[in-house]
Chains A and B, each alone.
Chain A
Amino acid sequence: MARLRLTPGVRAAFVFLAILLAATTPLAAQDADTAQPDDDTTTVDDTESDSADLVRRAAATVISSYSVPDMPAAAFLGTTPATITRPATARDLLIGLASGVDEHGQARQGFALEASPSAIVPGLGVSLEQYREPGANPRYLLANLLVSLGAARAAGDTAPTVLAYGIRLTLFDRADPMRDPVFLQALGDSIARCRPKAPIPGIPRGDTTSQANALLRDLLAEHHDRAVRCMDSHTRKLARRYARARWNASSMYVAYAGGERLGRGSFARRRHAGDRVWATGAIRVGAVAQTLVYADWTHDRGDGAADVFDALSYGARVNLGSESANGFVELLGQTRSGTPVGVPGRATAWSAGLELRAAESLWISAGLGERFRRTATPEVVAVLAGVRWGVSLRSWLSPAE
């Protein structure tokens, strides 16, 4: 892959470009934090402008990462579950589902479950060779299908519990390391290095006892922890290198979540709460660029007919860069139905940013607009020459860790 060389000249050009961007950009329309109103007089135009800004901000918040949620049911509920049940067998799945219902037959709030049908349903298993088959591969889709369930209750004793259900599907991902034979060879080598030298000591003969005693269980647990720590260390480095080298790979993901409002937590008093669909795609452009597109449609039925609304958030973004220097330009937008009179049903916003790795785990960034303010939030921020500058410990393009 071709990379930008961080010569002093390139660094100077980077800084110059950022300052030029600032000098030629009317900031007031994009950056509400730096825009001060001249007076307190409110007009219809001001109201529309404020509302449009709210919609712009909403779009920037909704489109936080150009990725579909890992757990669509939780995203529908707007919660981050403290504990997620992930069954490994069909039996565990049934136990997990049962744990979502209390002794009165009502949904238990805070419940969250995520399952991979191919991993827990006998007969649906997918081997690595099947997973790697090229072309239209239903086994690949099946292996990447995730089903999620969750329940949460809004604040207040009388608020209904909302039960959400969702699915997440990877249509394709050119950065999937498990389809790359070279990566698999390296992965196999890495984890094989962590095998124990010998069995745990003190294993009794079968005719002595058939039950492992507490000491043996502790030794097994210690062996297990040591092996997994070793594997984590090796595979983390391997996966990080792989992801960095393919940061601009093409991919496509979709997800759906729906929900039911349960009056007093009872399934008998359920009412459809709404639906939400996410789709995201990435297209590799040459060696140093990537185009991302994102759409997120929400249908919320609210508490009554007056509260029903639909919202479509969308974004398109171009990333350009390398491991050590990158930038982006994007357009975000949101279209809403059912908005009150005087509030625009549609608004768009653009953002742009640049960042440069100054040292290992130290990034200097500069940017404008909602994206930079909402989601690429650095640890330290300063506004200099009209541009928001930041210093952060990780790149906004770096793979999740």
Chain B
Amino acid sequence: MSLQKKDVEKIAHLARLAINEAEAEEYARSLSNILSLVARMGAVNTDHVQPMAHPQDMHQRLRADIVTEVDQRERFQAIAPQVEDGLYLVPKVIE
């Protein structure tokens, strides 16, 4: 499976990673190599096999729907890049 530059650009957008021309070509090369490695998965037929998400076949544990956390906003926002009045600041979203 060989990736083209335009495939790489699409993936980079999905992953929200900025890339330039040179990087796009380099990624096309290295990702294609990795996909060749990954293509070996096709060697075995898995039509009747169940996917395995957890080795112990566990299910998501549930808890009662009650509030257990305490307000630590000040503490967490102390390390934020930009905050004001308890809000995280980001550049304006283009309409």
Q: Is B truly associated with A?
A: no
